[in-house]
């Protein structure tokens, strides 16, 4: 039993000595209560104002815009977006609504002959009657649909309504 007690005592002394040696190495740099002096560099001197600044105070001449110059329309960078189901948000142009399917198909064929992508959909009106709506599109960007509406208004004298395309 005396041998075990000596070994424990020797082990405790070794641990205590190791703690005394290594504690200042790990924790001795920034001891609480110990202040360190930090040097703050001086700000650079304020530069002197050059003499030629007075020349810049005179207004500059703006070149005249030529008469035949047209201002380009502002660039629209509307990017297609996805809705909550992950489907791209797209737009279509509703041109007309007919109570007779033959009239809707006649306008659809006229639009297709002119080179437009057109389609019809059957729906109900508020009064419960069947309506056949004629659409042109779809397009991913709303600004393209609005341009298409202006074209169709000039060509066919139809004012369209830009609506959200639902497949």
Per-residue pLDDT tens digits of the chain, which is 167 residues long: 789 999 999 999 999 999 888 887 777 665 555 666 778 888 888 877 666 655 555 565 666 666 565 655 655 555 667 777 777 788 888 888 888 889 889 888 988 888 888 888 888 777 778 888 898 888 888 888 888 888 888 888 888 888 888 77
- Of 100, 89, 102, 96, give the one whose Cα is nearest residue 135: 96
Half-sphere exposure for 72 (CA within 13 Å, toward CB): 3
Distance in angstroms (rounded) separating the CA atoms of residues 57 and 105: 70
Domains defined along the chain, listed by start: 91-164 (3.30.70.1070)
């Amino acid at each position: 039993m005396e041998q075990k007690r000596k070994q424990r005592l020797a082990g405790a002394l070794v641990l205590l000595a190791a703690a005394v040696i290594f504690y200042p190495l790990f924790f001795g740099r920034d001891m609480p209560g110990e202040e360190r002096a930090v040097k703050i560099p001086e700000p650079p001197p304020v530069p002197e104002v050059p003499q030629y600044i007075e020349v810049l105070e005179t207004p500059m001449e703006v070149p005249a815009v030529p008469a035949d110059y047209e201002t380009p329309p502002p660039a629209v960078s509307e990017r297609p977006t996805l809705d909550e189901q992950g489907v791209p948000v797209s737009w279509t142009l509703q041109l007309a609504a007919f109570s007779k399917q033959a009239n809707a198909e006649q306008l659809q064929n006229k639009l297709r002959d002119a080179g437009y992508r057109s389609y019809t959909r059957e729906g109900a009106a508020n009064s419960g009657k069947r309506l056949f709506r004629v659409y042109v599109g779809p397009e991913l960007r709303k600004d393209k649909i609005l341009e298409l509406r202006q074209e169709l208004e000039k060509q066919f004298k139809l004012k369209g309504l830009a609506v959200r395309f639902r497949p």
